[in-house]
Chains A and B, each alone.
Chain A
């Protein structure tokens, strides 16, 4: 069977392609409406979880035939999965959403197999470590050489599509290619060794937030973990899965699972640690990705069982060796949770416990701390206006806390919070950090 034929079959056999059966577990009670950020900002049922599930069902039954209308609803979903946590009957919205995404993706492939910027980013750059590194090196050059200044002054950035110019301002200063190459592949444990862990560096995380990765490994090291890198690991596949490209997501997952198995054959590994809420959520659902696959499901399950967020490991290793002085002025912080960490990984207590363990810090929670900030993978680039409405809502609750530091646990959220700070004109008063940066600061780790 050639490819277009399969695509056609899938497009006609909607009940099979879409998670039709799952939609029946929704009793349309509406309990999820108040939890959904897009229902709140966009104000119609079409952009609510209950509405989306119903539209998937109507499409599967052949009642709604215009897929552009389905796309209008599904593409505006953040995929934050807050609705799953709110749902009293345990509807697996993630599955329904992904099935719809994948249908829409097939259709897109069918109608325009073009290589738009989104495609290039997702298929040629992100899964390819070398290309990502080259891109990171280019950014480093851009920042150091004076090009950045020229670009910012010339107004050239405003010409970039999808408001990419505004995102440019958020990029942290990147390490030089030489520094990058010097990163060790193994960090020995300090003090009594407690665990040996593999560190999942991720793709975007490693390219743009290399510093946070490095701090993570040093923190783990200080906490008594021997940290090793996994040779051959790649992007987790979350961005692909969320845009509906399950095939690529599976390929990437297989590559990661194999890389980990090879590493574990060389020496026993207690955990696979990651520091990005969104990636972690993808990694711990690898077994769902391969459900029913006799070879890959069990292999994925072993991988999932070992996967941990860094905050989980840092709480297991006992109190951190904190050196921060307590006599300084109290720093007020607030914590913007990563949706995927909260709603998919269900890691909620550990970050709080770690934040509270730092002396001289006062945690003031914002209203609806679990609500998505609107970053959601590449949502803020693809649906810029919708995302900014959600962000503005979020920032008003952040401002009410009076916090000077916003803590996040995922790179996308970190960038979005930085964007929020700029939108509110708070650059001089408020900073956004990854939890790891805050902990490293408290432990006196610098690079």
Chain B
């Protein structure tokens, strides 16, 4: 045990009564040293609070002794958010999962931060309601993590992302005070909108200890079709035409040729490997409206030159169609073990341009790059498949990633549509925000967290910080 540890531990054990929720042995520290992105950083201690009161005392203690404290959900982050880059305390919020109340009258859910996103989906659905944000990781991600990252998902196109469904929060500030933001009403204009400020702040402005989420009635029906294109550009035109025709699909997902080939290699689903793109389109709503809309979508795809259109007749066929999309991630992981999953996002109209740029980048750096994702909202997921152990390849990947970011910003887009900045994208912040934009954000951080203890080392780049994807 280090000296630092033994000093810390005595105090922390006074705060957390149950000693089993204070972890400090080496193997425990290694177990909380990573997320789903890059890098290994050992904390000095891991604490698993279960009440707001415990969080308050812990944060006060950390603030008094200027010990870094990093909130953590289930560490599925793709940008380094829960990594304790400066050591200190990892505050594991996943054990704080006691509350999940659905209020049918107010159409809200009141939840503890450690509740899994999928549990909220399930609880809402049991009451005929829906919590729309649906990150693919919802089976394991915590709502606290979703809020801190402002996570999105396929349904973002029609229903928006996490921030569109949060109306109130309980937050422990970096100085250990409890504040409540917003409330139980959809309309609320009292003062600055701190709720929205906390959402997407990646654990740098405080620890979320409770949230009030807005629910909507569950749409009674949905229909899905798959359209296959020989030409990637045609698929782009189909997307624009569908979206400008007055129909707002609930999901609009794309798979490029590389991802089609990978899926067919991995688990044949009867997809044509010579096609350049596949679109999966889902509409939802009233059964009559849905039938009408899916027919129009089909017509549009045909006009634009889809080579084949497959319609799902029932739930089973619907799942079959979506299966191909679900298989993309596992399929590409078979090519090489390391997956760098980017989520640069561009305005819808620029999707075809972005495709062109990605193609050039792939050729220039000779990398394995596949594109799939939420095409409808411009949130393409360019994924680079590489091997972490191949240093030379990783250097090329680092350059390619930087160029992808630059391309997205040039086209009027953004670094991140949903995965957050964390450590991975911090070096590119100024490129998007400009010097003053970034400085205003720094000032906010400083005002909230004068001792810079709350998840330090994130979002804001250190001078000269560069993207590094290798361990050493």
B-contacting residues of A (Cβ < 8 Å)? Answer: 24-25, 27-31, 33-34, 43-46, 48, 51, 54-55, 58, 63-64, 66, 69-70, 72-73, 88-90
Task: Select one of A24, A34, A55, A72 contacting B140, CB under 8 A.
Answer: A34
Task: Select one of A34, A44, A89 contacting B23, CB under 8 A.
Answer: A44
**With A43-B48, A46-B31, A54-B34 as contacts: A69 and B26 at CB distance below 8 Å:** yes
Asked if residues A54 and B36 are in contact (CB atoms below 8 Å), the reply is no
**With A27-B333, A30-B74 as contacts: A45 and B32 at CB distance below 8 Å:** yes
**With A24-B337, A25-B337, A28-B36 as contacts: A34 and B27 at CB distance below 8 Å:** no
Which residues does chain A contribute within 8 Å of B28, judged by CB atoms? 44-46
- Tell me if B389 is interfacial: C-beta within 8 Å of chain A: yes
Which residues does chain B contribute within 8 Å of A25, judged by CB atoms? 333, 337
Asked if residues A31 and B137 are in contact (CB atoms below 8 Å), the reply is yes
Task: Select one of A28, A72, A89 contacting B34, CB under 8 A.
Answer: A28
Which residues does chain B contribute within 8 Å of A48, judged by CB atoms? 31
Asked if residues A55 and B31 are in contact (CB atoms below 8 Å), the reply is yes
Q: How far is the CB of A41 from chain B (nearest CB, A)?
A: 12
Which residues does chain A contribute within 8 Å of B219, judged by CB atoms? none
Asked if residues A90 and B330 are in contact (CB atoms below 8 Å), the reply is yes
Which residues does chain B contribute within 8 Å of A31, judged by CB atoms? 137, 139-140
Q: How far is the CB of B262 from chain A (nearest CB, A)?
A: 12
Which residues does chain B contribute within 8 Å of A30, judged by CB atoms? 36, 74-76, 137, 140-141
Q: How far is the CB of A182 from chain B (nearest CB, A)?
A: 51
Asked if residues B27 and A55 are in contact (CB atoms below 8 Å), the reply is yes
Asked if residues A34 and B30 are in contact (CB atoms below 8 Å), the reply is no
Asked if residues A64 and B27 are in contact (CB atoms below 8 Å), the reply is yes
Top 9 A-B pairs, shortest CB-CB distance: A69-B27, A45-B31, A89-B333, A51-B31, A24-B337, A46-B31, A88-B330, A30-B76, A30-B140
In B126-150, the 8 Å CB interface with A consists of 137, 139-141
Q: How far is the CB of A141 from chain B (nearest CB, A)?
A: 45
Which residues does chain B contribute within 8 Å of A29, judged by CB atoms? 36, 76, 137, 140
Asked if residues B330 and A34 are in contact (CB atoms below 8 Å), the reply is no
Q: Which of A25, A30, A66 has the most CB of B within 10 A?
A: A30
Q: Which of B26, B27, B339, B389 has the most CB of A within 10 A?
A: B27
A245 to B333, CA, bound (A): 32
Given contacts A69-B25, A72-B27, A90-B330, 6 further A-B contacts (CB under 8 A): A24-B387, A28-B35, A43-B95, A45-B31, A69-B27, A89-B333
A391 to B247, CA, bound (A): 51
- Tell me if B218 is interfacial: C-beta within 8 Å of chain A: no
Which residues does chain B contribute within 8 Å of A46, judged by CB atoms? 23, 27-28, 31
In B19-63, the 8 Å CB interface with A consists of 20-21, 23, 25-28, 30-36, 46, 48
- Tell me if B388 is interfacial: C-beta within 8 Å of chain A: yes
Query: CB-defined interface of B313-346 with A at 8 Å, one 1/0 digit per residue?
Result: 0000000000000000110011001110000000
Q: How far is the CB of B72 from chain A (nearest CB, A)?
A: 9
Task: Select one of B30, B141, B338 contacting A54, CB under 8 A.
Answer: B30
Query: CB-defined interface of B86-130 with A at 8 Å, one 1/0 digit per residue?
Result: 000000000100000000000000000000100000000000000
Q: Name which residue of chain A comes closest to B46, CB basis.
A: A44
A63 to B28, CA, bound (A): 13
A24 to B333, CA, bound (A): 10
A29 to B37, CA, bound (A): 9
Give the size category of B's interface with A.
35 or more
Which residues does chain B contribute within 8 Å of A64, judged by CB atoms? 26-27, 30
Which residues does chain B contribute within 8 Å of A27, judged by CB atoms? 36, 333, 337-339
A-contacting residues of B (Cβ < 8 Å)? Answer: 20-21, 23, 25-28, 30-36, 46, 48, 74-76, 95, 116, 137, 139-141, 329-330, 333-334, 337-339, 387-389
Asked if residues B140 and A70 are in contact (CB atoms below 8 Å), the reply is no
Asked if residues A89 and B330 are in contact (CB atoms below 8 Å), the reply is yes
A250 to B453, CA, bound (A): 54
Which residues does chain B contribute within 8 Å of A54, judged by CB atoms? 30-31, 33-34
A45 to B32, CA, bound (A): 7
Q: How far is the CB of A125 from chain B (nearest CB, A)?
A: 33
A54 to B282, CA, bound (A): 38
Q: Name which residue of chain A comes closest to B20, CB basis.
A: A43
A29 to B333, CA, bound (A): 12
Asked if residues B31 and A34 are in contact (CB atoms below 8 Å), the reply is no
Which residues does chain A contribute within 8 Å of B48, judged by CB atoms? 43-44
Q: What are 19 of the A-B contact pairs (CB < 8 Å)?
A: A24-B337, A27-B36, A28-B35, A29-B36, A29-B76, A29-B140, A30-B75, A31-B139, A34-B140, A43-B95, A44-B28, A45-B28, A45-B31, A46-B28, A46-B31, A64-B26, A69-B27, A72-B27, A90-B330
Q: How far is the CB of A27 from chain B (nearest CB, A)?
A: 6
Asked if residues A70 and B27 are in contact (CB atoms below 8 Å), the reply is yes
Which residues does chain B contribute within 8 Å of A63, judged by CB atoms? 30
Asked if residues B74 and A55 are in contact (CB atoms below 8 Å), the reply is no
Task: Select one of B20, B27, B387 contacting A73, CB under 8 A.
Answer: B27
Q: Name which residue of chain A comes closest to B25, CB basis.
A: A69
Q: Name which residue of chain B comes closest to A63, CB basis.
A: B30
Q: How far is the CB of A136 from chain B (nearest CB, A)?
A: 41
Asked if residues A66 and B23 are in contact (CB atoms below 8 Å), the reply is no
Which residues does chain B contribute within 8 Å of A89, judged by CB atoms? 329-330, 333-334
Which residues does chain A contribute within 8 Å of B36, judged by CB atoms? 27-30
Which residues does chain A contribute within 8 Å of B337, judged by CB atoms? 24-25, 27
Which residues does chain A contribute within 8 Å of B23, judged by CB atoms? 44, 46
Q: Which of B46, B139, B334 has the most CB of A within 10 A?
A: B139
Q: How far is the CB of A256 from chain B (nearest CB, A)?
A: 32
Which residues does chain B contribute within 8 Å of A73, judged by CB atoms? 27, 31
Which residues does chain B contribute within 8 Å of A44, judged by CB atoms? 23, 28, 31, 46, 48
